[in-house]
């Protein structure tokens, strides 16, 4: 079974704090993704990575950055958290030769006060 | 035109009936199609994928693909209350291999 682990299920931070969301997968997948999900807006892609040290902007990268120093780990960074970044954050990984099927972690519900 | 479109619902179906969920997509070159189930407060879980025109069955689930009409559907037979969830359609685009998700259809199975 594919396992995608996100470091926290719930997180509460204050405006202006630097926030790190960690994601680890154990299936040697090349591709990893960060989404946020808000009611009525569906899944929105923030950043993705097709290889170590590679990153590509998704649809809503503003206010976020990412790091992929190792193949199994993909981190999402909120440089200065704002209240409009309160959301559910979902990490996914995929194996290109499996048709890029994405497997999701449990999600992190982030509240920025 | 949105890239992947789904009716947001809620779709209410009596227990034991067939639930039919529909999805249309805009990229004619799309090759792979996925259905995810998402329970409230949980993350999406892959339940079906389909690559070829026609039907693909897995237990109570059947995915149907019609590339000419750019249409993919999910049928759930003998619907159970545990099937109540949001169902996300996802499409792998032909032009760039990106996976695009629809916003999902909320399904409510009435006991």
Q: Which residues of A touch B9 (CB under 8 A)?
A: none
Nearest one of B42, B43, B44, B24 to B33, comparing CA atoms: B24
Q: What is the mean pLDDT of chain A?
A: 94
Model confidence band, residue A97 (pLDDT cutoffs 50, 70, 90): confident
DSSP designation for B80 = -
A–B CB contacts, 8 A cutoff, strictly below: 40
Q: What three-state secondary structure class fits B29?
A: coil
Does A107 contact B43 at a Cβ distance shorter than 8 Å? yes
Q: What is the mean pLDDT of residues B55-67?
A: 96
DSSP designation for B83 = G
What does the pLDDT look like over A5-17, one tens digit per residue?
999 999 999 999 9
Task: Give the Å distances, CA to CA, from A25 to A3, A59, B13, B75.
Answer: 6, 23, 37, 31
Rounded Cα gap, residues B19 and A73, in angstroms: 38
| pLDDT value of position A37 | 96
| pLDDT value of position A40 | 87
- Min Cα distance A64 → chain B (Å) is 20
Phi first, then psi: what are they for B107, rounded to 5°? Answer: -110, 130
Model confidence band, residue B1 (pLDDT cutoffs 50, 70, 90): low
Nearest one of A35, A66, A60 to B43, comparing CA atoms: A35
A13 token code pair = 């931070």
Q: Tell whether A103 is within 8 A of chain B (Cβ).
A: yes
Task: Tell me: pLDDT of A82 over 90.
Answer: yes
Nearest one of A78, A111, A103 to A28, comparing CA atoms: A103
């Amino acid at each position: 079974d594919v396992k995608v682990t996100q470091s926290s299920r719930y997180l509460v931070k204050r405006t202006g704090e630097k926030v790190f969301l960690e994601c680890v997968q154990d299936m040697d997948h090349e591709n990893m993704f960060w989404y946020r999900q808000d009611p009525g807006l569906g899944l929105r892609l923030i950043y993705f990575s097709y290889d170590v040290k590679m990153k590509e902007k998704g649809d809503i990268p503003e206010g976020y950055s990412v790091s992929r120093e190792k193949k199994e780990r993909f981190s999402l960074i909120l440089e200065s958290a704002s209240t409009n970044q309160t959301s559910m954050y979902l990490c996914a990984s995929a194996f290109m030769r499996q048709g890029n099927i994405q497997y999701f972690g449990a999600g992190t519900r982030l509240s920025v006060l | 035109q949105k890239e992947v479109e789904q009716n947001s619902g809620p779709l209410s179906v009596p227990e034991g009936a067939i639930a039919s969920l529909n999805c249309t997509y805009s990229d004619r070159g799309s090759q792979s199609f996925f259905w995810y189930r998402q329970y409230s407060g949980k993350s999406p879980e892959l339940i079906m994928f389909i690559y070829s025109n026609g039907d693909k069955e897995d237990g109570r689930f059947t995915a149907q693909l019609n590339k000419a009409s750019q249409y993919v559907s999910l049928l759930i037979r003998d619907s159970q209350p545990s099937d109540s969830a949001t169902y996300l359609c996802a499409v792998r685009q032909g032009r760039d291999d990106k996976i695009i998700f629809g916003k999902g259809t909320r399904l409510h199975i009435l006991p």
